């Protein structure tokens, strides 16, 4: 089975060709980083226009790299949400056009499910497994029990961890995107223990997260330094922030592991996915936790942690071989929770974090 995948949910335009033998024949990603850096974040209208401008060319390139024509495809999969709706529409409409013109099945993929199932593409992880999904817009712990079967064990009550990285990078004057820049600064730190930061939710019952207070604490340290940071200040504060995040994630995962093992005594892997999963310090901390808990630890290759179309093609394969596909009147979704039955978590600002896009 050969599937074309299309990803346009945020600021990467991507196309990939993947087979059900877990072979990635082509994986093309065009970053819009230069378009959004001057604004310090993703501008939805700019992102949508860039997807529209580049997607056709990327699909042609992916098909050429895979050495196939449209007649060789068994299905077309595209991110149907959640995400910036303008970009999602571009990808969905392009996939529908290909499917209609070639008489192919169309599969609308939940972007989060793409991340959730990546470990099955790269490492053939068996169900069930425990997933930590960490990205710019999401921070969730989920029991993955099958394709389309996700139970949320914990989520953030305010900021997602990737959002906290971006905001911290901005406070430190590091630029955008925040995650890689904070990690680089932390690696240069000469005194990682110099700054004391709070560990939100550490040791608390349950598996939920909170990062808003941590971001505020970073801002206070910046203000105490007069708002003008030396390179040493930036590096040490970045290291303190990164270590704190890693400790909090490990604590929350530890609680989720205990709950997961009660429900699945036969075991399973601890999987981390999403853009923040590319952070080496976080990977290392979670790997040690998994080893202590006698669980297999799986983190996809760095290039498959950030947004890509290979994961969308693979999720399409997983659904399609179960006999699932979508009609051409499928409506793109700005919000699409993996666990629709999970109760909204009310944060301190009164926002239902459980239904964030």
- Region of 66 please: left (phi>0), alpha (psi -120 to 50) or beta: alpha
CB atoms within 10 A of CB 219: 16
Find all residues with CB under 8 Å of 289, minimum gap 6, and list them: 250, 253, 254, 257, 270, 297
Tokens standing for residue 31: 């970053």
Please, what is the end-to-end C-alpha distance for the chain in angstroms? 31
What are the backbone dihedrals phi and psi of residue 31, each rounded to the nearest 5 degrees, phi first?
A: -80, 145
Q: E strands of 40-88, at which residues?
A: 75-81
Structural contact between residues 183 and 234, judged by C-beta atoms closer than 8 angstroms: no
Annotated binding site: 111, 115, 133-137, 166, 179, 183, 279, 307
Annotated binding site for substrate: 133-137, 166, 179, 183, 279
Letter string b/e over residues 306-332, b meaning 16 or more CB atoms within 10 A of that residue's CB = bbbbbbbbbbbbbbbeeeebbeeebeb
CB atoms within 10 A of CB 207: 24
The percent of the chain in helix, strand and coil, each rounded to the nearest 5, is 45, 20, 35
Annotated binding site for Fe cation: 111, 115, 307
Give the Cα separation of 79 and 334 in Å (integer).
11
């Amino acid at each position: 089975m050969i599937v074309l995948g299309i990803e346009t949910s945020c600021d990467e335009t991507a196309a990939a060709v993947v087979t059900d033998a877990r072979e990635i024949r082509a994986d093309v990603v065009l970053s819009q980083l230069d378009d959004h850096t001057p604004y310090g974040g993703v501008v939805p209208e700019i992102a949508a226009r860039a997807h529209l401008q580049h997607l056709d060319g990327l699909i042609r390139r992916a098909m050429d790299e895979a050495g196939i024509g449209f007649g060789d495809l068994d299905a077309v999969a595209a991110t149907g949400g959640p995400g910036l709706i303008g970009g999602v529409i571009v990808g969905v409409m392009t996939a529908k056009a290909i499917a209609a013109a070639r008489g192919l099945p169309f599969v609308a993929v939940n972007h989060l499910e793409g991340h959730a199932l990546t470990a099955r593409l790269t490492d053939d992880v068996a169900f069930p497994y425990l997933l930590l999904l960490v990205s710019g817009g999401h921070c969730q712990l989920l029991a993955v029990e099958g394709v389309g079967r996700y139970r949320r064990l914990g989520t953030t009550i305010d900021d997602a961890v990737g959002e906290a990285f971006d905001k911290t990078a901005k406070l430190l004057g590091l630029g955008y995107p925040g995650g890689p820049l904070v990690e680089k600064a932390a690696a240069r730190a000469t005194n990682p223990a110099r700054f004391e930061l709070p560990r939100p939710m550490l040791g608390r019952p349950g598996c939920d997260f909170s990062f808003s207070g941590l971001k505020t604490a970073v801002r206070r340290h910046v203000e105490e330094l007069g708002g003008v940071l030396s390179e040493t200040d930036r590096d040490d504060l970045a290291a303190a922030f990164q270590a704190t995040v890693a400790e909090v994630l490990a604590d929350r995962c530890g609680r989720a592991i205990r709950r997961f093992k009660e429900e699945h005594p036969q075991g399973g892997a601890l999987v981390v996915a999403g853009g923040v999963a590319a952070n080496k310090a976080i990977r290392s901390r979670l790997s040690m936790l998994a080893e202590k808990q006698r669980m297999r630890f799986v983190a996809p290759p760095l290039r498959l942690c950030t947004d890509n179309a290979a994961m969308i093609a693979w999720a399409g394969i997983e659904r399609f071989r179960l006999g699932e596909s979508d009609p051409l009147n499928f409506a793109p979704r700005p919000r699409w929770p993996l666990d629709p039955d999970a109760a909204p978590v009310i944060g301190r600002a009164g926002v239902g974090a459980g239904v964030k896009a």
